[in-house]
Amino acid sequence: MTINLFQTPEYKALIEEHLEKTIGYLFTKNQEFALACEIKYVSFNPELPSNIQETFQETVLFILGGYTFETAKLEDGYFSFEAGFGSENFGSTVSMPLLAIKQLFVDDHPIVFNLARPIDKEKSHKKSSMEALLNNPENKKLLKKKKL
């Protein structure tokens, strides 16, 4: 079986660190930038009105300049910023896991390209819940009885 090198935990950790360091570097140089990301991993607080959400494609380009750039921050593997959307400039905080960022651009130059997908929180949560359940010796006994 062939392993998809770009979905391995090692590559994901490597590219996540690269994205974090690159964005951190751009912050220290006060360099505005743009990023292309997968919208399915992006959250908005407050939620955007449906008429605005419907305008997004699968991949969205956010241009971070001015106030949006000033509010941008990195925290615990997530990138977030405040932005206004639509003709009414509806304000929302945009947040995404770093691995949702597919490309970073400075001016017209792509400077980072990411092929990894974010970790599916639902799958990892289910797995860790089962691990927590099995960590209790009493639960292991119950599972053994059930198998018999």
Residue-level pLDDT at 123: 45
Q: What is the pLDDT of residue 119?
A: 77
Asked whether residue 16 falls in the same domain as residue 88, the answer is yes
- 62 lies in the same domain as 100: yes
Whether 72 and 134 map to the same domain: the answer is no
Do residue 29 and residue 85 come from a single domain? yes
In a shared domain, residues 66 and 27 = yes
Query: Are 91 and 139 in the same domain?
Result: no
One domain, residues 54 and 71: yes
Q: How many independent structural domains does the chain possess?
A: 2
**127 and 113: one domain?**
no
**Structural domain for 142, as ranges:** 119-148
Q: What is the pLDDT of residue 122?
A: 45
Examine the domain organization and report whether 35 and 20 are in the same domain. yes
Report residue 3 as tokens.
């392993």
pLDDT of residue 138: 57
Give residue 125's pLDDT.
Answer: 42
Residue numbers of the chain with a pLDDT score lower than 50 = 1, 122-127
The C-alpha atoms of residue 64 and residue 125 are separated, in whole angstroms, by 32
Are 92 and 40 within one domain?
A: yes
Alpha-carbon distance of 112 to 23, in angstroms, equals: 10
Read off φ and ψ for residue 11, nearest 5 degrees.
Answer: -65, -40
Give the pair of three-digit tokens for residue 17.
Answer: 């660190």
Q: What angle do CA 90, 93, 94 make, to 5 degrees?
A: 105
Stated pTM of the model:
0.77
Nearest Cα neighbor of 94 from 58, 53, 57 is: 53
Give the C-alpha distances (Å, rounded to integers) separating 2 from 5, 11, 13, 14, 118: 9, 15, 20, 20, 20
Question: Quick one: 9 and 46 in the same domain?
Answer: yes
Q: Could you give the dihedral angle defined by the CA atoms of residues 45, 121, 25 and 29, in that order, rounded to the nearest 10 degrees?
A: -10
115 Rama class: left (phi>0) / alpha (psi -120 to 50) / beta: alpha
CATH number of the domain bearing residue 83: 2.30.30.220
Q: Does 64 share its domain with 136?
A: no
Residue 110 contacts residue 95 (beta carbons within 8 Å):
no
Per-residue confidence (pLDDT) for residue 92, from 0 to 100: 97
79-104 pLDDT tens trace = 999 999 999 999 999 999 999 999 99
